Structure 1
Amino acid sequence: MIGVPAGKVTLTDRRTQHSWTVDVAAHELAPFPVTQEQYTRVTGERPSSATGERLPVEGVSWLDAVRFCNALSLREGLSPAYRLGAEGAEGGEGAAWDTAADGYRLPTEAEWEHACRAGTTGARYGPLDEIAWYGSNGSGRIHEVGGKQANAWGLHDMLGNVWEWCWDLYDPEVYGAYRVLRGGGWFDEHWSCRASVRRRSHPTFRIDDVGFRVARSPGH
């Protein structure tokens, strides 16, 4: 896990043309998306359509990701961050976040974008071909984690390779339980692989260009 310093980030939704600024507390974030080897070691499952221990796990839903976080926490003797099906969760397709827990969790989208930018203010933290696998250089397939340059804070694959689930609801008034995805994937055009791009999907959705990485709260 890599320490991400506190800061401030402005999020923008192109659909609504709405921007909002969020204060981000210091936290920890994994340097890579969760790999197939890690996912299988913790859950015993192999959901991915491609095969490779160092490939990012894909074909995982938002619910799969939060269950993995809880399982990894228990495996390491930490308090699970999520209560599935808890009161206040989005029906049977959500989870309640115990912010006092010391276990692993998904990053919020503000944490994700702040970490992705790593102090930069442009669309990307470096030249796209040097930092990301995407449609123009990905040869139509997923790639092992860490194969491209990290950002200034040591985080790899924040753009390209797989989209990453974040904790947040996208727009509950319009899209209900849909959750936020960030980062772009191996099949996407360059305009999807930007620090600011927001995508949404249902928490049960699974596809071969969506994975996740884990975070831990500050002070834990």
Structure 2
Amino acid sequence: MTNQKYGSDRTAFEKELMKLMVPVQGGTIELRDYVNTDKWLSSDYTLSNPGSNKKAVTWTATIEPFHVMKYPVTQQLYHFVMHEKETEPIMNNLPMAEVSWIDSISFCNQLSRMLGRTECYTITNESENTIFKKTANGFRLLSDAEWQYACKAGTAGYRYERIEQIAWYQENSGGSVHPVGQLLPNPWGLFDMIGNVWEWCWDLYDKERYGNYRVFRGGSWAEAQNNCGSTSRRKSMPDFKIDDLGFRIALTHV
């Protein structure tokens, strides 16, 4: 996906990009929270038994159909969309990292504009007031619950396969990020959901306790294996950047 290859031919670019978007059928997933369930309510789910938001609780979230990119956003794609420039060949398939939550939703908006889609986000200086337009047909981040649903891909365990077969993590990464798609995908054809880079999600972590901190998921090349799995979940400020944190994109309306 380079300027040299596509020039101003956005149709060819969009066709290639859409080949990477995997359809996810709707369904339900059981979720558990030990602090505050308000963050799940910020997205478009139906909660069957949310209970009190101040105690450990398990409930079922209903996920609507969506499309998700089979890989984390790569450096090649990020720089093409945001800067209209090529990357060094060795960087092409590395996940984009050291991007903030703000950078990630800005990328989604820019990609949407590039392809004539409606932007999903109205971005404000105070990130907790950033507006997500659910009816927009543009690109977006996965929600917290969508991410877990897509990662598990119908499986029941912490991971969908033995970790060394699916993830780059502290014990096998050699201390660095790796190109996407080198290990086995999950049952729905999604690569690098666990390990390699953490992935930003849309949701606030817990507004009452942490303000505008946002969720990221999945573990990374720098994490011990215990921290890399379908329920691995951390938080930080929306302008936080680090070299093992990236993102993945989704579409509600194709």
TM over 0.5: yes
Residues 161 and 178 (structure 1), Cα distance of their counterparts in 2 relative to 1, 3 Å cut: same
Residues 100 and 53 (structure 1), Cα distance of their counterparts in 2 relative to 1, 3 Å cut: same
- Say whether residues 1:176 and 2:211 are aligned partners: yes
Q: Which amino acid aligns with 1:165?
A: W
What is the aligned length? 212
Q: Which amino acid aligns with 2:113?
A: L
Identify the residue that residue 16 of structure 2 maps to in structure 1. Answer: none
Aligned equivalents of 2:190, 2:126: Cα separation in 1: 34
Query: Which digits, 9 at most, give the CA deviation of each residue in 1:32-86, with x for residues without a partner?
Result: 000000000001189xxxx71110000000000000000000111110000011x
Identify the residue that residue 52 of structure 2 maps to in structure 1. Answer: none
The SS at the match of 1:126 is coil
**1:14 Cα deviation (Å)?**
5.8
Q: Which amino acid aligns with 2:73?
A: V
**1:20 Cα deviation (Å)?**
3.2
Identify the residue that residue 69 of structure 2 maps to in structure 1. Answer: 30
Q: Which amino acid aligns with 1:30?
A: M
Could you tell me whether the CA contact under 8 Å between 1:93 and 1:204 is conserved in 2? no
- Structure 2: 5+ residue runs without aligned partners? 1-20, 36-54
**1:10 Cα deviation (Å)?**
1.9
Identify the residue that residue 139 of structure 2 maps to in structure 1. Answer: 104
The structure with more helix, counted as a fraction of residues? 2
Residues 136 and 18 (structure 1), Cα distance of their counterparts in 2 relative to 1, 3 Å cut: farther
Residues 139 and 165 (structure 1), Cα distance of their counterparts in 2 relative to 1, 3 Å cut: same
**Structure showing greater Rg:** 2
- Say whether residues 1:69 and 2:104 are aligned partners: no
Q: Which has the higher contact order (CA 8 A, sep 6+)?
A: 1
Could you tell me whether the CA contact under 8 Å between 2:128 and 2:204 is conserved in 1? no
**1:9 Cα deviation (Å)?**
1.3
Q: TM-score, normalised by structure 2?
A: 0.79
Residues 45 and 17 (structure 1), Cα distance of their counterparts in 2 relative to 1, 3 Å cut: farther
- Say whether residues 1:7 and 2:27 are aligned partners: yes
Could you tell me whether the CA contact under 8 Å between 2:127 and 2:212 is conserved in 1? no
**1:13 Cα deviation (Å)?**
3.7
**1:21 Cα deviation (Å)?**
2.2
- Structure 1: 5+ residue runs without aligned partners? none
Identify the residue that residue 213 of structure 1 maps to in structure 2. Answer: 248
The SS at the match of 2:91 is coil
Identify the residue that residue 81 of structure 2 maps to in structure 1. Answer: 42
Could you tell me whether the CA contact under 8 Å between 1:39 and 1:45 is conserved in 2? no
Matched residues, percent identical? 44
Could you tell me whether the CA contact under 8 Å between 1:94 and 1:203 is conserved in 2? no
- Describe how 1:69-218 pairs up with structure 2 within 5 A: 69-85=108-124, 91=126, 94-217=129-252
